[in-house]
């Protein structure tokens, strides 16, 4: 059974966030679950009760199919490598699934980013030591870094390329094929380029995926997320060299 093209995902997220309240133990209230369940009922793949923040941002707002996130200073996702420090306090809005073949697309607008490392993008956050993200990180008025980070067993890597500072929007596509993952980017929402293919040992069954924004240094900015959808897996099977017997 294939996952359906699911263009109402953004509306589901906005309905959920608009009514989101937590109980005294940090759990989601019945109102939150019912609203998301109704909006996501047709997918059959994503657990609607799990659309939630790992940590809430400094502020967020929902307008139609748009999620607006304001970051707090000194928020980040990074583990150990090179810098040796551990930062695990970025707000992440996610949902859960066991579906093995699908793609998730979102457009990010980071026009307001202005300080080194301000960032927003796509994420699969499993726990503090196992996660995957893709984003554009502000550097200065001349260039910024388009890149991705894969963190396995508590160690992060960072693969980047420099892009002009006047790029202010980016689409991302996160795809899963069984236990392997792909992040792609696009400047127009149609033509996607591969950023990273990786295997995540901790992401073999149920995963959590969604969006994030953060400001690792003494900054704050507003990120805008739109055009969210889930589709059949757009990352096609490899047609080159066959696996060894």
Give me the residues paired with residue 223 across strands: 69
Would you put residue 64 in left (φ > 0), alpha (ψ -120 to 50) or beta?
left
Average pLDDT of the residues in 223-242: 87
Beta strands, E only, 118-244: 119-127, 130-138, 143-152, 155-156, 159-164, 169-177, 180-186, 193-199, 207-214, 222-231
pLDDT value, residue 50: 55
Question: Each residue of 145-172: pLDDT tens digit?
Answer: 999 999 999 999 999 999 999 999 999 9
- Examine residue 20 and state whether it is found in any structural domain, yes or no: no
Q: Is 37 helix (H, G, I), strand (E, B) or coil?
A: helix
Q: Identify whether 198 is part of a domain.
A: yes
Residue 153 lies in a domain: yes
DSSP letter (8 states) at residue 9: H
The more confident residue out of 53 and 216 is 216
Q: Above 50 in pLDDT, residue 43?
A: no
Q: What is the pLDDT of residue 241?
A: 73
Of 23-37, 128-142, 171-185, the one with minimum mean pLDDT is 23-37
Domain limits for position 139:
52-231
> The whole model's pTM is what?
0.82
Token reading at 39: 């909006």
Of the pLDDT bands very low, low, confident and very high (cuts 50, 70, 90), residue 206 is: very high
Q: Is residue 15 part of a domain?
A: no
199 part of a folded domain: yes
Would the pLDDT of 216 be above 90? Answer: yes
The answer to the question of residue 9 being in a domain is: no
Residue 8 placed within a domain: no
pLDDT band at 36 (very low <50, low <70, confident <90, very high): very low
CATH code of 114's domain: 2.60.120.200
Exposed, middle or buried by CB within 10 Å (0-12, 13-18, 19+), for 158?
middle
Number of domains in the chain: 1
In a domain, 121, yes or no: yes
């Amino acid at each position: 059974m294939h996952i359906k093209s699911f263009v109402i995902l953004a509306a589901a997220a906005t309905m959920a966030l608009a009514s989101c309240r937590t109980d005294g133990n940090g759990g989601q209230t019945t109102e939150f679950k019912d609203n998301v369940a109704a909006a996501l009922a047709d997918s059959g793949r994503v657990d609607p009760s799990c659309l939630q923040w790992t940590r809430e941002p400094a502020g967020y707002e929902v307008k139609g199919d748009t999620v607006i996130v304001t970051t707090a200073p000194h928020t980040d996702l990074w583990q150990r490598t090179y810098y040796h420090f551990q930062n695990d306090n970025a707000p992440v809005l996610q949902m859960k699934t066991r579906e093995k073949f699908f793609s998730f697309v979102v457009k990010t607008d980071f026009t307001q980013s202005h300080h080194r490392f301000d960032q927003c993008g796509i994420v699969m956050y499993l726990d503090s030591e196992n996660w995957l993200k893709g984003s554009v990180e502000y550097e200065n008025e001349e260039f910024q870094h388009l890149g991705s980070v894969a963190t396995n067993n508590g160690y992060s890597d960072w693969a980047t390329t420099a892009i002009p500072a006047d790029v202010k929007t980016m689409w991302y596509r996160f795809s899963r094929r069984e236990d392997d993952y792909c992040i792609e980017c696009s400047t127009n929402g149609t033509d996607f380029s591969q950023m990273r293919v990786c295997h995540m040992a901790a992401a073999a069954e149920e995963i959590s995926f969604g969006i994030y924004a953060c400001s690792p240094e003494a900054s704050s900015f507003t990120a805008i997320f739109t055009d969210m959808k889930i589709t059949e897996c757009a990352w096609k099977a490899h047609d080159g060299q066959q696996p060894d017997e």
